[in-house]
Amino acid sequence: MFNHADFDGHERVVFCTDPDSDLKAIIAIHDTRRGPALGGCRMWPYASAELAVRDVLRLSRGMTYKAVMAGLELGGGKSVIIGDPRTGKSEALLRAMGRFVNSLDGGYIVAEDSGTCVADMKVIAAETAHVAGVSDKPALGGGTRSGDPSPSTAYGVFVGLKAAVRHRLGRYDLDGVRVAIQGTGSVGTHLARLLHGAGAELLLADLRPERAQALADELGAEAVAVDAVFDQDVDVFAPCALGAVLNDDTVKRLRAAVVAGAANNQLDHERHGEALRKRGILYAPDYVINAGGLIDVAYERSGIARDGDRLRQHIDGIAGTLSEIFVQADAEGLPTGVVADQLARHRLQRRH
């Protein structure tokens, strides 16, 4: 483990098994110098344990950088459950996960992620108090919503996408801007509605084509095959599904000027950030642009979740952080992801 390419000095990596519920999970805590590690629990049918380890380590480190770039007093952590969320989830499995989270004495705070939801977190909360994203709170557009942080994630991506369009295309509005969204789950759907309201033209793709088609019908958009989304003639490509979608094959196929989406770990390897830069494609570093959900659950934990205006203002700050990264990357001739990593490490070290 210490020699794993993605280990990166993790403080703790815990492998969790519970034969009675068939739980197989990994909890990774990357850094707790700024505070407890807060990060979602992903459930996915990984093809191998090695792929699960790689994913949780990369996600955990990303949470550390996400927290510091968002100005939060939190550390970085993540967990994954190996299994199909549609067929392998049970109350016994979730409660067993809750007991493992509880055994870490608050060093890791769990929240929802791909394959889990608010209802799942409430089951986990029966075994541990170290859970976030379960309390009702004001919706950014008024009214009340559940603890689901995906609307805040989508709103952060929306303001970040506008900053990227402004920097790369010189546009201060999104009217007629063509955006291809890969993944129409909770975040992708919320983002699509925000973009539609701003006048963007949308192309939608999802592993479940019927879901993309239903949203396309609602918004007057176009649904495309999930593999064909990389080849679309658009201004912005917004990956909002799983990670590692920008690889040796897909980077060459992109016809967009901007990549700005909600997915974590969008670059398969760091070199793909340089490949995007050489093609003139502006990449909004994922852990910066998708920080809205983390800000949301951090506010819930701090007891100020009822202040919707303050939450919105904090998420609006994502645009300024991205603009700083874009300007510095242009000045130094570096990929935006490299600049973001440098800033995150500097801020983390400066704090201590």
Residues taking part in catalysis = 78
CA 141 to chain centre: 21
Whole-angstrom distance, CA of residue 210 vs CA of residue 208 = 6
Q: State how far Cα 329 lies from the chain centre.
A: 22
Smallest CA-to-CA distance from 14 within 110, 65, 79 is with 79
Cα end-to-end span (Å), the chain: 26
Q: For the packed helices 150-169 and 308-332, what is the interaxial angle rounded to 10 degrees?
A: 40
Contact present, 66 and 149 (Cβ < 8 Å) = no
**Distance of CA 20 to CAs 88, 90, 119, 261, 306, Å?**
13, 11, 21, 38, 40
